[in-house]
Amino acid sequence: MALIAPSLLSANFLNLAADCEMLNKSEADWFHLDVMDGRFVPNISFGLPVIEHIRKTTTKVCDVHLMILEPGTYAEAFKNAGADILTVHIEACTHLHRNIQQIKSLGMQAGVAVNPHTPVSFLQDIIADIDVVCLMSVNPGFGGQKFIPHTLTKIKELRRMIDEKGANVKIEIDGGVTLENAKSIIEAGADVLVAGNTVFKSANPTETIAQLKKI
């Protein structure tokens, strides 16, 4: 059964407390928190103060996805803000192994995100050192985009790599996840589904999360 990580990028920021309470009462497993700097991706989302407040509302896992340049500069601050998992982009890290070591030394699980154009083979030498691979199934920066079908091939390739290495790594899929395609994503080998618009734009978000959990 896949873990469900609703993305608060799609939440109602004028009523964030209510959306956090809804997630707490739902079958959601993680809170997925997207941080964008307007440099690595062409959008700016939210940062440390918002995450600090979200952390106070929940005991569920806070899965922080940094779509920013120089993530190592801010790793400790995100730990202090309440991140349980800190994910950095392979494309933003000149010294990825150093970034992973830093995240783990701060007591967080370490994730690596991979953009649609980046081969998963680039993870070959780091896969045993990380906890989560976040495969971007859309180009990062904006919610509401359509799932890129080639991602299914990348999931299968990554699953083979993890199994061959005997690594304990979760495959997280971020972007365009719907009730219609979730089954094929899970069957390809995914462990965690990030869902933004699918959850928060639905008529009944709690029920939509429950439906995703049943797939």
Structure tokens at 177: 């996840």
For residue 141, the model assigns a pLDDT of 76
The pair phi, psi for residue 181, each rounded to 5°, is: -105, -5
For residue 142, the model assigns a pLDDT of 76
Pick from 134, 211, 146, 213: nearest CA to 176: 146
Residue 84 known to be catalytic: no
Asked if residue 38 belongs to a known ligand binding site, the reply is no
Asked if residue 174 belongs to a known ligand binding site, the reply is yes
Identified catalytic residue from 29, 34, 131, 191: 34
Distances (CA, A) of 164 to 132, 157, 160, 161, 183: 16, 11, 6, 5, 24
Pick from 155, 125, 122, 159: nearest CA to 137: 155
For residue 145, the model assigns a pLDDT of 84
Q: How many CB atoms lie within 10 A of CB 36?
A: 21
Asked if residue 175 belongs to a known ligand binding site, the reply is yes
Q: What number of residues does the chain have?
A: 215
Asked if residue 65 belongs to a known ligand binding site, the reply is yes
Pair 31, 63: CB distance under 8 Å: yes
Mean pLDDT by 10 residues, the chain (215 residues): 96 96 98 97 95 97 98 98 98 98 98 98 97 96 86 98 96 97 98 97 98 96
Q: What is the DSSP letter of 1?
A: -
Pair 167, 202: CB distance under 8 Å: no
For residue 144, the model assigns a pLDDT of 75
Structure tokens at 193: 């589904």
Whether this model's pTM surpasses 0.85: yes
What CA–CA distance (Å, rounded) separates 211 from 177? Answer: 13
What CA–CA distance (Å, rounded) separates 127 from 7? Answer: 24
Our separate counts of H helices and E strands in the chain read 8, 8
Asked if residue 143 belongs to a known ligand binding site, the reply is yes
For residue 73, the model assigns a pLDDT of 97
Pair 51, 17: CB distance under 8 Å: no
For residue 120, the model assigns a pLDDT of 98
Domain 3-214: homologous superfamily in CATH: Aldolase class I (3.20.20.70)
Residue 34 known to be catalytic: yes
**Locate tokens 């304990």: which residue?**
168
Quickly list DSSP for 128-192.
Answer: GG-SEEEEESS-TT-SSPPP-TTHHHHHHHHHHHHHHHT---EEEEESS--TTTHHHHHHHT--E
Identified catalytic residue from 19, 37, 63, 174: 174
What CA–CA distance (Å, rounded) separates 117 from 114? Answer: 8
